[in-house]
């Protein structure tokens, strides 16, 4: 098996192979919401293509979209950004990979559990990974002694709100992380993709709000606007020189996001009711699924944001074994906890499916638990 392939990608690949044989699989391993893209977004993309926005464009992204993003973040986060603080990317994955290549640091501190692509990219780039672990018993929040491990790295990578746990860092914890970074001239790569999908009354603070010039934050249109297939992300920094460097590097290897797709993103930003409606859907589905899983004996920290649940498998069952059994017996694909760090007792569920499919998945999970050997 390819050591750089995230475990949930492996599960997804096997699930697709089973589907090709006519076996019905419920996909809860990949974060692709079961929501239709708002028609206004599709119409805007179509109009832009008809109007000729099908050629090469600005490597940073069309100015109007970058201005709109800056205004949106200024309004939501109290920042003072303009279009030159922003660079569009073909999705969040590309943003992460290019950022790691551009910054060219050797020792990366990863706050765990974390989305598995950070491990995969770090391995591809031969980076030394320093694991900064959090525990279920602590509500997935890091202790001070764990944070000290960041003092020995060149780059800190954090997903906040978290994928996979849906937790949000305390402001005090963020203050300590930024203090460590500033004292040791460490870069911060802050994946803040789920900041728009917070559905609990918990204060969120972007790492951009500290004004630390060695910070690069990553955002995306994929989940908040259900635009996963459009592949539109963006990086933001208060340091415009850093964004210029990123843009020039991206232009060399990719070019940029297709202009007609950027007009779809621009239309999305004009209609904030889309995010409100999607957030409501995610919140309701997450609460339903977490409640049903608890009835089956799963234990978890209730998520505060996003589209995932990261529970402990009941009865001391190994998470990897359960993931495999659930796929072969129950025909439900989920992500093993080992894909997000050394968490073999846990698995990640994607919650952003329609209610009838979630209900069917629960019955299949129940059946699998009853037939574990």
Which pLDDT does position 287 carry in this prediction? Answer: 97
Closest by CA position to 332, among listed 20, 15, 34 = 15
Q: Could you list the residue range(s) of the whole structural domain that residue 279 is in? A: 7-37+274-370
Q: Where are the beta strands (DSSP E) in the chain?
A: 26-27, 86-89, 107-111, 128-132, 155-159, 187-191, 215-220, 233-236, 308-309, 332-333, 335-336, 347-350
In this structure, what are the phi and psi dihedrals at residue 233, rounded to the nearest 5 degrees? Answer: -130, 180
Is residue 312 domain-shared with residue 163, that is, in the same domain? no
Write the pLDDT tens digit of every residue in 16-36.
888 888 899 999 998 999 999
User: Looking at the domain assignment, is residue 164 inside a domain?
Assistant: yes
Among 271, 293, 317, the domain boundary falls at: 271
Write the pLDDT tens digit of every residue in 38-94.
999 999 999 999 999 999 988 899 999 999 999 999 999 999 999 999 999 999 999
Which pLDDT does position 3 carry in this prediction? Answer: 59
State the average pLDDT over residues 337-358. Answer: 96
Is residue 206 domain-shared with residue 252, that is, in the same domain? yes
Which pLDDT does position 9 carry in this prediction? Answer: 77
Among 271, 299, 333, the domain boundary falls at: 271
User: Looking at the domain assignment, is residue 2 inside a domain?
Assistant: no
Q: What is the CATH number of the domain that holds 87?
A: 3.40.640.10
Q: Is 91 helix (H, G, I), strand (E, B) or coil?
A: coil
Assess contact for 113 and 343: CB atoms under 8 A: yes
Helices (H) and strands (E) in the chain, counts: 12, 12
Is residue 83 domain-shared with residue 95, that is, in the same domain? yes
What span, in angstroms and rounded, lies between the C-alpha atoms of 329 and 338? 21
Whose structure tokens read 């979630």?
358
Instruction: State the DSSP H helix or E strand holding residue 175, giving kind and residue range, or none if neither.
Output: helix 171-184
What span, in angstroms and rounded, lies between the C-alpha atoms of 169 and 171? 6
Is residue 61 domain-shared with residue 72, that is, in the same domain? yes
Write the pLDDT tens digit of every residue in 298-309.
999 999 999 999
Is residue 267 domain-shared with residue 284, that is, in the same domain? no
Which pLDDT does position 360 carry in this prediction? Answer: 98
Is residue 55 domain-shared with residue 170, that is, in the same domain? yes
Write the pLDDT tens digit of every residue in 167-219.
999 999 999 999 999 999 999 999 999 999 999 988 999 999 999 999 999 99
State the average pLDDT over residues 150-164. Answer: 97
Residue 1 has pLDDT above 50, yes or no: no
User: Looking at the domain assignment, is residue 97 inside a domain?
Assistant: yes
User: Looking at the domain assignment, is residue 1 inside a domain?
Assistant: no
Write the pLDDT tens digit of every residue in 264-321.
999 999 999 999 999 999 999 999 999 999 999 999 999 999 999 999 999 999 999 9
Is residue 152 domain-shared with residue 296, that is, in the same domain? no
Strand partners, 26: 332
User: Looking at the domain assignment, is residue 181 inside a domain?
Assistant: yes
- Token readout for 310 is 């990261």
Which pLDDT does position 255 carry in this prediction? Answer: 87
348 pLDDT band, cuts 50/70/90, is very high
Is residue 163 domain-shared with residue 281, that is, in the same domain? no
Q: What is the CATH number of the domain that holds 32?
A: 3.90.1150.10
Among 254, 271, 288, the domain boundary falls at: 271
Count CB-CB contacts under 10 A for residue 320: 18
What percentage of the chain has pLDDT greater than the value 90? 89
Is residue 28 domain-shared with residue 47, that is, in the same domain? no
Count CB-CB contacts under 10 A for residue 14: 16
What span, in angstroms and rounded, lies between the C-alpha atoms of 32 and 282? 12
How high is the mean pLDDT of the chain? 94
Is residue 215 domain-shared with residue 337, that is, in the same domain? no
User: Looking at the domain assignment, is residue 286 inside a domain?
Assistant: yes
Is residue 223 domain-shared with residue 266, that is, in the same domain? yes
Looking at the 3D structure of the chain, how many domains does it have? 2
What percentage of the chain has pLDDT greater than the value 70? 98
Residue 5 has pLDDT above 80, yes or no: no
User: Looking at the domain assignment, is residue 20 inside a domain?
Assistant: yes
Is residue 141 domain-shared with residue 152, that is, in the same domain? yes
How far is it between the farthest Cα atoms of the chain? Answer: 61
Instruction: Please give the torsion angle defined by the CA atoms of residues 8, 349, 360 and 13, in that order, rounded to the nearest 10 degrees.
Output: -10
User: Looking at the domain assignment, is residue 121 inside a domain?
Assistant: yes
């Amino acid at each position: 098996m390819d050591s750089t392939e995230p475990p949930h990608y492996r599960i997804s690949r096997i699930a697709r192979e089973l589907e090709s044989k006519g076996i019905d699989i419920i996909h809860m391993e990949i974060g692709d919401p079961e929501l239709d893209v708002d028609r206004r977004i599709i119409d805007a993309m179509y109009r832009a293509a008809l109007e000729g926005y099908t050629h090469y464009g600005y490597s940073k992204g069309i100015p109007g979209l970058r201005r709109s993003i800056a205004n949106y973040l200024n309004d939501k986060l109290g920042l003072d950004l303009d279009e030159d603080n922003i660079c569009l990317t073909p999705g969040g994955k590309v943003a992460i990979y290019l950022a790691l290549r551009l910054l060219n640091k050797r020792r990366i501190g990863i706050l765990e559990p974390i989305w598995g692509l950070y491990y995969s990219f770090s391995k591809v780039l031969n980076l030394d990974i320093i694991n900064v672990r959090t525990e279920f018993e602590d509500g997935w929040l890091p202790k001070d002694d764990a944070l000290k491990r960041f003092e020995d790295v060149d780059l800190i990578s954090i997903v906040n709100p978290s994928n996979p746990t849906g937790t949000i860092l305390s402001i005090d914890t963020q203050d300590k992380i930024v203090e460590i970074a500033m004292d040791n001239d460490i870069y911060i790569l802050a994946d803040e993709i789920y900041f728009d999908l917070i559905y609990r009354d918990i204060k969120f603070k972007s790492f951009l709000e500290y004004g630390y010039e060695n910070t690069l934050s990553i955002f995306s249109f994929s989940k908040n606007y259900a635009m996963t297939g459009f592949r539109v992300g963006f990086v933001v920094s208060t340091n415009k020189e850093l964004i210029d460097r990123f843009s020039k590097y991206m232009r060399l290897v990719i070019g940029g996001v297709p202009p007609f797709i950027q007009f779809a993103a621009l239309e999305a930003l004009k209609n904030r009711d889309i995010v409100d409606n999607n957030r409501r859907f995610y919140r309701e589905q997450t609460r339903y699924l977490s409640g049903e899983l608890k009835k089956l004996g799963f234990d978890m920290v209730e998520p505060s944001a996003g589209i995932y649940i990261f529970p402990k498998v009941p009865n001391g069952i190994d998470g990897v074994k359960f993931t495999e059994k659930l796929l072969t017996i129950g025909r439900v694909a989920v992500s093993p906890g080992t894909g997000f760090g050394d968490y073999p007792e846990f698995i990640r569920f994607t919650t952003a499916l329609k209610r009838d499919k979630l209900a069917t998945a629960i019955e299949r999970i129940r059946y699998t638990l009853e037939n574990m050997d």
